[in-house]
Chain A
Amino acid sequence: MATLLEIENLKTQFFTSAGTVKAVDGISYTVDEGETVALVGESGCGKSVSALSILRLIPWPPGKIVGGHIKFNGVDLATLSEEEIRKIRGKDIGMVFQEPMTSLNPVLSINEQLSETLITHFGISKEAARVKSLALLEMVGISDPNRRLDQYPHHLSGGMRQRVMIAMALSCEPKLIIADEPTTALDVTIQAQILELMKNLTKSLGVSMIIITHNLGVVARYADRVNVMYAGKIIESGTAHDIYHNPQHPYTLALLNSIPRMDQPRRDKLDPVEGQPPDLTKLDDGCSFRFRCRYAVDRCANAFPDLEKVGDTHFTACFEKGRLKESVKVVS
């Protein structure tokens, strides 16, 4: 499959009074056409910042992309003018945010909010935009769409608002949608419906997706490929199968142990990943996970390990990956 998005050594930093926050510190990954790629990691590890960086939505001040390339369809988004990137936002790349309750404008009707994207990018009339919006609401499974169009966000439940957000992200037939924790704020039962909807729509429309989550459990079912992030870096990358059944980084392993798994006998207790993520203003040259890592050795403090190939599609950034293998067997 052709590569749609190629992120190369992306670095985004926030210049705050407390110091420079290295929120995204040199990540690289690709998204192929029609592929769903997951970005997984604990809260605060730079997932949202990396997603917002793609659309150049980092607020300056204090934040800024300080290095790297974001090649989308061969064009480096990092070098576009403000007007050029605006034409890509919402048109070629759609975005779904985490908070459906606050991500829609409370004073504009659903129709106004759906139509304006269509009007902006296609220059169609209000009437035509309404017809299209109606079809979009139907597509995302909202019943009685005609009535819903004239309602306001406060009339809709969280799950329905998220459906509207998805309709909005898909409205201009984008090639890629970025979903930043699209279900984190929703009830568990609704979460599955929304994820299922996104999976079906992206597959049937042939849209690529970057799905961000802190829940590895979500990933197994919905992503083709998984990138695990820690403190602004990707520390493991592979197919969902690789990551789920053959984790090669102590952090991934710890994440897996922190979620309930259907495919394994129930354990007495889940182990949350111990310790706190590091302060992103005070990173040193060593591996940022070593303070929480059971396998850490002296050399971990000297340099950050490179991502190294451990399988056809599988990469990990750990000096001690060899030792990990044995203990994975023990755990599972």
Chain B
Amino acid sequence: MYKYIAKRLLLMIPTLIGAAILVFFLLRLIPGDVCELRLAGTGLYADPEQIKLCRENLGLNDHILVQFATFVIGFVTFDLGDSMWTGNPITHEIGLRFQLSLQIAFMATFVAVIISIPLGVISAVKQDTWIDYVVRSFSIFGIAIPSFWLGIMIILGLLIVTQAWTGVPWMPPIEYVSPFEDLGANMSQLIWPAVATGYRYSAVATRMTRSALLEVLREDYIRTARAKGLLEKIIINRHALKNSLLPVVTIIGIEFAFLMGGLVVTEQVFNLNGLGKLFVESVLQNDYNLTQALVMIVVAIFVFTNFIVDLFYAWLDPRIRYS
């Protein structure tokens, strides 16, 4: 078990190094640089001397390996540097947005789990009945509709419903409030994007739960459990579900990590300043420092989530636990 954990932890290192190399060199393949964009991006004339000075200041004229070393050393010492576009420290640029994205990712994951596992189980147990068809339609719908559209519908729905009930249309607040300051206000803002993305993401997990459970229900040990006269409830919850959760946990882990950087459109719809929006801006501005920091944060979250998933595996499956 300890060996298993140690191995998983050690595996994180090469993943992070690989990601660092990739992001660093790929970014530099994009034509143009931040100084050109900053000084001449609007189409006005820019003094070549000024551009040169800007590059000098940002260290862009250093040898590429020197730049790489600076980046790696910065990353391992948790010094992410300054944004090349605004000049502000990156921790400052990211701070609140990170908190917001993390919160939405957690909430959406929570929504997805409480929707997908019960629905997936019901749909498998009632395979090929109308209940199964309803659940499957519900989840296909979730995969088919874009979550930004669902987001718009939610906002419109809120406006219409509150208008009809109270006479005053209400919309989720736009200003981000930390949950530690005012949990109510925070929730009334973030619950909607969490539901919109959580629903979409539950769709995949529901289908995964259903198919994994159906597969497990055909196993010999389920027949044994039936032959023992156990209650159907126990057969499903104790014997089948635990065995079918492995692929579901994997999917949930991947989606969680994805939500941390991939919610660009949903953030737009709900007017949230999350990491997704910052990501797009930083790439468009050729802000190497910021993009690198964001990519590495998302990669670190991916790697860490994977580690948590591996721990779940060990918890679910004694064959891993005792290896």
* A interface list, Cβ under 8 A from B: 55, 57, 86-91, 94-95, 97, 99, 102-109, 116-117, 120-121, 152, 154-155, 165, 168
Contact = CB atoms under 8 A, between A and B. Distances in A.
B225 interface: yes
Given A97-B227, A103-B220, 13 more contacts: A86-B229, A86-B230, A89-B229, A102-B219, A104-B221, A105-B221, A106-B319, A107-B317, A107-B318, A108-B242, A109-B318, A116-B238, A168-B224
B242 to A, nearest CB: 5
- Give the one of B223, B228, B317 with max A CB within 10 A: B228
7 contacts: A57-B223, A89-B228, A90-B228, A105-B224, A105-B239, A117-B228, A168-B228
- Give the one of B230, B242, B322 with max A CB within 10 A: B230
Contacts of B318: 106-107, 109, 152, 154
A125 B316 CA distance: 25
B127 to A, nearest CB: 10
A193 B30 CA distance: 73
| Interface magnitude class on chain B | 20 to 34
B230 A117 contact: yes
Interface of B: 219-221, 223-231, 234, 238-239, 242-243, 316-319, 322
A90 B242 CA distance: 22
Contacts of B219: 102
Contacts of A109: 318
Nearest to B227: A95
Contact of B229 (A102, A108, A117): A117
B31 to A, nearest CB: 54
Contacts of A90: 227-230
Nearest to B128: A61
Contacts of B234: 116, 120
Given A97-B224, A108-B238, A120 B243 contact: no
B229 A154 contact: no
A87 B229 contact: yes
B223 A103 contact: yes
Nearest to B226: A57
B227 A55 contact: yes
B224 A103 contact: yes
